[in-house]
Amino acid sequence: MAEIKIENVEALGKPLGQYSHMARVKGAHETLYIAGMLAAGDDFDAQCTGVFRQIETALRSAGAGWGNVAQFTTYLVHSQDIPKFMAWRLREFPRMFPDEIYPPNTLLILDRLVQEQFLVEVQTIAVV
């Protein structure tokens, strides 16, 4: 199994939320590139919950879990949803990452996703 070491670079300062600066992967491994996941839902929280549920399903299908995640890329449609996303992660990530070592995450704001109703999409890279 690959060794994933998630760390912060002191010279870069403390991350602004539940993520880390860098993931180092060592050893013979297989890399999973999980396409951006979307989920239907009436509001941002429902969609976010659905997105991470789908990511978990993809991880499990490859014999992996949250501890195998090396990086997330998150796409939001509205910058006003950044506090909602941060609150969702603050509430849910401690369950998903009980050691409180969070994978790097790049957060981008886009004009829209593939369909108008979608508010959040998350792409994942994991190592097995």
User: How confident is the model over 72-111, as pLDDT tens digits?
Assistant: 999 999 999 999 999 999 999 999 999 999 999 999 999 9
Sequence-distant (≥ 6) Cβ neighbours of residue 3 within 8 angstroms = 25, 26, 27
Q: Provide the residue type at 49 as one letter.
A: T
Range of the domain at 36: 3-127
Q: What's the pLDDT band for 123 if we cut at 50, 70, 90?
A: very high
- pLDDT at position 77: 98
Query: pLDDT value at position 46?
Result: 98
**Residue 51 sits in a domain of what CATH number?**
3.30.1330.40
Max intra-chain CA distance, the chain: 42
d(CA 107, CA 110): 10
Residue 104: both structure tokens together: 């790097």
Total structural domains within the chain: 1
Residue 15 confidence class, pLDDT cut points 50, 70, 90: confident
Of residues 22 and 88, the one with the higher pLDDT is: 88
Cα dihedral sign, 78-117-34-5? positive
Cα angle: 91, vertex 122, 59; to 5 degrees = 85
Q: Please state the rounded mean pLDDT for residues 112-121.
A: 96
